[in-house]
Structure 1
């Protein structure tokens, strides 16, 4: 592990009634201690998990549209107000890593194509040797994980399951295991996937209770709702659709 703690510089914030500081999970934040090589951020949309992940990415110097410190391209004006008001505590400090956001991955793939068109040598070398646009959505995600990610780095992923089938989510779990065990990588992942959340010994932080709290896998809504649905599908759908 490299990143040990995320702290909110509360003394520097003038108002907590404006976005993003009015998000309950952010309003109540003082610091988060990261105790595992793999940390999952869970919660409903709007709960603040992606907002915090984006802030960490900005503090790391990663491109907020997706990429590393070396990917300098603009999709639109991307900036994190929260990123200016957090402190990251490292041991040791590292600069290698990547921020992947599913919603702007298409633009990142286009950025690589533009580099190639401009004559950049090896533009695709770290991504499987060919354009990510020439691969299916799921293939391009796995190509990124398999070829671009390597050791002594921190990887921030926002909903990586967006393009992955259940089978490929299992493949990603194996990649996650190999990268943390053999390469020394650290991951912070915002996700809705009950499959990914099942990764052993991960730290799961829940953003839904008005403050950020550690939660056990079996206590997450993702696990409980999925389990209940699979075990009681007909009753679940009857209650849902006949209300």
Structure 2
């Protein structure tokens, strides 16, 4: 499925015209200007799965965030915007094949890390509350409390409840269970499968972070199936050779000058892995 058909970024001439019009010299950075135009990255024509590949500083995350901002998709984590960010986004153009669904979103590494941290913090809070309830149970069960007015009703209820139940049952009734914790890789994979629904445009920024090679291959299969059978479109920034090998993916090499579409086996990162394992082939 294709919702977003094409996207264009400002070229060097357009950026120069903008700088001449603003005439502001009090800023050290004009980000995201001069990032994508540096390698002549001016247009993306999308497939159901489109991948932005490149090294650190190549602009793949910048491009992904700009597209997400222009398309108005949902996002959870905040991200850095310069004084000129909206100016840049307004200079971009996008061509739609179909309306972008409301459940569309961008998912970043920060989203995944926050999800794992929130589960951990929630469980820590539950554990602390459990200890407090143990103390409340003992205080209530063995207190010599006597009700003297209606204002004491809540305390009476607690004492009565404590005296009629065991300590473990009292705590279970008053407290939610711990949220099940998984490994970082399992949690990250579950986050993607929970957030990615049918019929949506999804922008994934380096989703391989926190995922083992096996989990990366499972995510690759999940993305392939979501694009093929469940009406999803994906735009992904990644270094992962597993995700880069995705069947039918169109790959833009942002390290090339000018930016060019390449096969995954032509990419420097993949070739580095290949040559390394080739040198050690006899050890396997």
TM-score using structure 2 length: 0.65
Q: How is 1:116-155 mapped onto 2 (pairs within 5 angstroms)?
A: 134-155=181-202
When residues 212 and 180 of structure 1 are mapped into structure 2, their CA distance, relative to the original with a 3 A threshold, is: same
Q: 2:204, 2:81 → 1: CA distance?
A: 17
The structure with more radius of gyration? 2
Would you say the 8 A contact 2:106–2:203 is kept in 1? Answer: yes
Q: 1:114, 1:97 → 2: CA distance?
A: 28
What's the CA shift for 1:111? 6.9
What's the CA shift for 1:60? 2.5
Query: In the alignment, which residue of structure 2 is the partner of 1:43?
Result: 54
Per-residue CA deviations over 1:82-119 (Å, capped at 9, x if unaligned) read: 4343222111121331211114532355678999x9xx
Q: 1:48, 1:25 → 2: CA distance?
A: 10
Q: How many residues align?
A: 211
Quick check: which one's helix share is greater?
Answer: 2
Would you say the 8 A contact 2:39–2:254 is kept in 1? Answer: no
Query: In the alignment, which residue of structure 2 is the partner of 1:22?
Result: 34
Would you say the 8 A contact 1:3–1:91 is kept in 2? Answer: yes
> Of 72, 78, 81, which residue of structure 2 is paired with 1:79?
81
Aligned-residue CA RMSD in angstroms?
Answer: 3.1
Query: In the alignment, which residue of structure 2 is the partner of 1:98?
Result: 105
Structure 1: gaps (5+ residues): 63-67, 118-129, 235-243
Would you say the 8 A contact 2:253–2:262 is kept in 1? Answer: yes
Which region of structure 1 is more displaced relative to structure 2, 104-113 or 82-91?
104-113
TM-score using structure 1 length: 0.75
When residues 168 and 109 of structure 1 are mapped into structure 2, their CA distance, relative to the original with a 3 A threshold, is: closer
